[in-house]
């Protein structure tokens, strides 16, 4: 495999890894399947692209994207906690309304950023000796490590633990004095802020923002989270935040390989979404298939210990 | 002092299936009282505890705790003063979190902040509290709670419900789902923890065990159809035996039977 292909996989895996950290917060920690991300990813891209396109500071644009994502998460949280809509419906509604909002922000379905100074080019001005090919992956690796450490720290604080408990046993944490409307709000805002940040960086990396670029973000996020967690199985936040980013890298690599060599098997670019969904289904069914196989082989091997296998707390 | 006045709660209000779960209920509880609550299924015992804790909101009436009206406060706010143990041992703890994380969450009941939750000092304190339970978890602080037995989890829940020095402790048949041995142990732990706070803790315990209802605590009430139909303490309570309580129950049944016959002919 050419080295550039690997580098592209690494770059995209890291950029989308920021989004995956966000999906991890809602899907795994809060136990809230949040579809808002399909809208907040292009929202981040739209906000950053608009600011950069109109000659604004890219750093400022990226920061505004983060704030916009935060607010998008807040809308979903308020729909769910105040109006008592189900979590899926709240996400779908916000995702759909964001489509119009994104069009309004961009004024048109697509903003090209070619020839504009993005954050990545600004950074390169500080390191003129390093080729952009290596600077980009290093920058995003550095960024994602920082984000990961900040998240680890956050989830060891009192509020952080209360958010984890909200996803684990909501009735309990409420009877221990925590307003679970609040913990859900914080979790959703944080998650969508990360997703929008990821969108902002992806727009600057790929040189455009498109109103349809968010389609399937949730599937990509879920696939990455599930792949990562089924590979690295240590159930602590420290390892989980590593696991989901690793999952994102693997997922992007698979997609890039499918795009590059898939035609040999008769795949077309339009089949990409189908492949992503198949990946999710396979990753989700691995634990079940594995336990089936263990169960069946236990009879042929006569192993009693496996027949009565019961591991509470292993599957988190 | 916990004062309940005219408390009323309907389920499915204004529908053909309307049920009057709590009917103009009154109760005054002094500091240090340990009340056992008995009554048949559907008498409103658990609903009463839910109303006090704030899991359910009352339709009418008033609940006062030390003079403050808490009737319409949300559950999480009342949790500053109220500790609670559920019948289901799985409800009181978070299975995918560690023992120390569960305990530390219950320690601070006010608004949680951005401080790091666990440190050496707090761990030491939690270990001490755990070792007093005598269930041998003090060296497994980082173990996931989902790996513990029902009895161990219930013991943890009781510790979590008393560790923060609450004003009120609500126990909802908290030994019913355990095997006889664990059940005995949990009851003993409960009594010890309540004893420690003797004089300034209010305890309400729902039970189906008549023997337990008379042996534990200093006051017993019997509920039927959302009302308080028997309230005994002190000498009067000492004279009462299980037979008497059972007779009260069958009298209620009889009455229901007669009423049913009047209606159904």
The list of chain A residues with pLDDT below 50 reads: 304-316
Q: Which burial class, exposed, middle or buried, applies to A292 when counting CB atoms under 10 A from its CB (0-12, 13-18, 19+)?
A: exposed
Domain span at residue B180? 2-93+167-264
Specify if B238 maps to a domain.
yes
pLDDT of amino acid A263: 85
Q: For position B264, what pLDDT does the model report?
A: 67
Question: Is B171 part of any domain?
Answer: yes
Domain count, chain B: 1
Distance to chain A for B71, nearest Cα, Å: 16
Residue A301 lies in a domain: no
Contact check, Cβ <8 Å, B92/A160: no
Q: How many CB pairs under 8 A join A and B?
A: 94
Going across the sheet that includes B219-224, the strands are B82-85, B168-172, B202-206, B34-38, B219-224, B227-233
Tokens of A249: 């890298």
Q: Which domain holds residue A181?
A: 3-270
Phi, psi for residue B135 in degrees, rounded to 5 = -115, 10
- Residue in B94, B104, B146, B157 to test binding to A, most A beta-carbons within 10 Å: B94
pLDDT for A262 equals 83
Structure-token pair, residue A112: 């090209």
Does residue B158 lie in a domain region?
no
pLDDT tens digit sequence for B50-100: 999 999 999 999 999 999 999 999 999 999 999 999 999 899 999 999 999
Residue among B95, B112, B117 minimizing CB distance to A168: B95
- Segment B112-150, tens digit of pLDDT: 888 998 999 999 999 999 998 888 888 899 999 999 998
- Name the residue with tokens 């009877």: A175
Q: Listing from the earlier edge strand, what are the strands of the sheet with B68-69? A: B19-29, B2-11, B60-65, B68-69
Alpha-helix residue ranges (DSSP H) falling in B88-226:
99-107, 120-133, 150-162, 180-196, 210-215
Residue A236's CATH number: 1.10.3470
Give me the pLDDT at residue A308, please: 45
**Residues B173-220 pLDDT 10s:** 999 888 888 889 899 999 988 888 877 899 999 998 888 889 888 999
Does any domain span residue B99?
Answer: no
In a domain, A293, yes or no: no
Residue A314 has what pLDDT? Answer: 41
Could you read off the pLDDT of B5-34 as tens digits, one per residue?
999 999 999 999 899 999 999 999 999 999
In a domain, A303, yes or no: no
Q: Determine, yes or no, domain membership for A75.
A: yes
- Cα torsion at B141, B145, B146, B149 (round to 10°)? 100
Q: Which of A156, A172, A185, A234 to mutate to test the interface with B (most CBs of B within 10 A)?
A: A172
Does some domain include residue A122? yes
From chain B, the residues in CB contact with A175 under 8 A are 53, 55, 75-76, 79, 84, 92
pLDDT of residue A221: 95
- Residue B209, class by beta-carbon neighbours within 10 Å (0-12 exposed, 13-18 middle, 19+ buried)? middle
- Confirm whether B100 is domain-assigned: no
Q: Per the CB < 8 Å rule, is A172 touching B79? A: no
Total domains, chain A: 1
Is A164 an interface residue toward B (CB < 8 Å)?
yes
**A315 domain-assigned:** no
User: For residue B199, what is the domain's CATH number?
Assistant: 3.40.50.300
Enumerate the β-bridge partners of residue B203: B34, B169
pLDDT of amino acid A299:
65
């Amino acid at each position: 495999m050419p080295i550039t292909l690997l580098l592209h996989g690494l770059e995209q895996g890291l950029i989308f890894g920021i989004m995956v950290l966000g999906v991890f917060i809602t899907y795994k920690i809060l136990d809230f399947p949040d579809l808002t991300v399909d809208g907040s990813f292009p929202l981040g891209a739209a906000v950053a692209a608009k600011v950069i396109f109109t000659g604004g500071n890219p750093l400022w644009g990226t920061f505004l994207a983060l704030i916009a994502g935060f607010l998008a998460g807040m809308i979903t949280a308020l729909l769910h906690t105040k109006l008592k809509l189900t979590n899926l419906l709240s996400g779908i509604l916000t995702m759909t309304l964001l489509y119009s909002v994104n069009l309004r922000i961009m004024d048109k379905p697509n903003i090209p950023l070619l020839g504009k100074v993005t954050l990545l080019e600004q950074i390169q001005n500080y390191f003129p000796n390093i080729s952009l090919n290596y600077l980009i992956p290093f920058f995003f690796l550095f960024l994602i490590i920082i984000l990961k450490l900040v998240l680890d720290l956050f989830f060891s604080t009192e509020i952080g633990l209360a958010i984890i408990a909200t996803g684990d046993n909501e009735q309990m944490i409420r009877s221990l004095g925590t307003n679970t409307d609040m913990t859900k709000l914080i979790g959703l805002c944080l998650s969508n802020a990360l997703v929008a940040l990821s969108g902002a960086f992806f727009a600057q990396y790929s040189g455009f923002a498109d109103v349809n670029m968010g389609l399937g973000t949730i599937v990509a996020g879920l696939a990455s989270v599930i792949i990562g967690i089924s590979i690295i199985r240590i159930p602590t936040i420290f390892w989980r935040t590593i696991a989901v980013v690793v999952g994102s890298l693997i997922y992007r690599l698979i997609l890039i390989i499918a795009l590059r060599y898939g035609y040999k098997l008769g795949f077309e670019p339009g089949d990409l979404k189908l492949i992503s969904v198949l990946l999710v289904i396979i990753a989700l069914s691995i634990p079940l298939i594995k336990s089936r196989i263990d169960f069946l082989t236990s009879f042929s091997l006569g192993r009693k210990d496996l027949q009565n296998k019961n591991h509470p707390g292993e599957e988190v | 002092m916990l004062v309940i006045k005219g408390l009323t709660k309907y389920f499915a209000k204004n529908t053909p299936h309307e049920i009057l779960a709590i009917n103009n209920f009154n109760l005054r509880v002094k500091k240090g009282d340990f009340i056992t609550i008995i009554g048949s299924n559907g008498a409103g015992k658990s609903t009463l505890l839910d109303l006090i804790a704030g899991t359910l909101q009352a339709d009418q009436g008033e609940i006062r705790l030390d003079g403050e009206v808490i009737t319409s406060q949300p559950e999480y706010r009342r949790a500053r003063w109220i500790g609670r143990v559920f019948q289901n041992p799985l409800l009181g703890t978070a299975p995918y979190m560690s023992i120390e994380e569960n305990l530390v969450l219950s320690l601070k009941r006010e608004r949680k902040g951005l401080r790091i939750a666990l440190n050496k000092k707090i761990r030491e304190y939690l270990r001490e509290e755990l070792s007093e339970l005598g269930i041998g978890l003090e060296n497994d602080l980082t173990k996931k709670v989902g790996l513990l037995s029902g009895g161990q989890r219930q013991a943890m829940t009781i510790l979590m419900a008393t560790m923060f020095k609450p004003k009120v402790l609500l126990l909802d048949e908290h030994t019913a789902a355990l095997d006889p041995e664990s059940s005995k142990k949990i009851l003993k732990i409960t009594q010890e923890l309540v004893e420690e706070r003797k004089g300034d803790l209010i305890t309400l315990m729902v039970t189906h065990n008549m023997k337990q209802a008379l042996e534990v605590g200093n006051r017993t009430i019997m509920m039927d159809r959302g009302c308080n139909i028997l309230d005994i303490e002190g000498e009067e309570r000492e004279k009462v035996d299980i037979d008497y309580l059972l007779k009260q129950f069958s009298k209620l049944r009889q009455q229901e039977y007669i009423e049913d016959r009047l209606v159904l002919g």
